[in-house]
Amino acid sequence: MYNGWKILLGLIIFLAVATFPFYSNIGKATVKPEPKIDTPVINELKEKKCVESKEFMKAEHMQLLNDWRDSAVRDGNRIYVAQDGEKYTISLQNTCMKCHSNKKEFCDKCHNYAGAKPYCWDCHIAPKEAKK
């Protein structure tokens, strides 16, 4: 082997970087986030349902919010008619967050896990929550 120590050093650095996710996680049990929906508003609902079906919300809620924003801010249309015909006022703070007033236990649970950091709260006001 020629220039052995330089090449070995390079390989050790390469392996240390490439396997970092493995040795920093090994043996750690991963806990799947369980978004909580027990807020006062939701508990009072007769039928516990979101704007759209749960499956749809799970996958498409960012798209829905984006459509809501365009609809309200660009077209001035602040009424959303859901698939099942129910009407909702288009508002992030006054519709979504009225029901999901537990942002830390709901939105943030998933987002922290998935590494998503919506910048919406730079401007929009998150519901007040008791700090835990």
Partner 1 sequence: MGALFSFVMVILLVLLAYAGIKAANLQIFFGVVIPYAAILTFLLGFVYRMLKWSTSPVPFRIPTTCGQQKSLPWVKQNKIENPSTALGATVRMILEVFLFRSLFRNTKAELRDGRLGYGSSKWLWLGSLAFHVSFFTISFRHLRLFLQPVPSPVHFVETLDGFLQIGAPTFLITGSILLLAALFLLLRRFLLPTIRYISLPADYFPLFLIIAIASTGILMRYFLKIDVVSVKELTMGLVSLNPMIPEKIDVIFYIHLFLISVLLAYFPFSKLMHMGGVFLSPTRNLSNNNRMVRHINPWNYPVKARTYEEYEDEFREKMKNAGIPVEKE
Give the integer Cα–Cα distance in Å for 118 and 89: 21
Q: Which among partner 1, ligand HEC, none contacts residue 127 (Cβ within 5 to 8 A by kind)?
A: none
Report long-range pairs for 80-85 (Cβ below 8 Å, ≥24 apart): 80/51, 82/51, 82/52, 83/52, 83/53, 83/56
Least distance (Å) from ligand HEC to the CB of residue 26?
A: 25
Give residues in contact with ligand HEC (CB under 6 A). Answer: 35, 37, 42, 48-51, 54, 57-58, 61-62, 64-65, 68-69, 72-73, 90-93, 95-96, 99-100, 106-107, 110-111, 114, 116, 118-120, 122-124
Return the residue of 53, 66, 77, 93 that touches partner 1, per CB under 8 A.
66
Residue closest to 49 by CA, chosen among 86, 101, 76, 94: 86
Count other C-beta atoms under 10 Å from residue 56's C-beta: 15
Q: Which stretch binds partner 1 (CB under 8 A): 40-48, 76-84, 96-104, 106-114?
A: 106-114
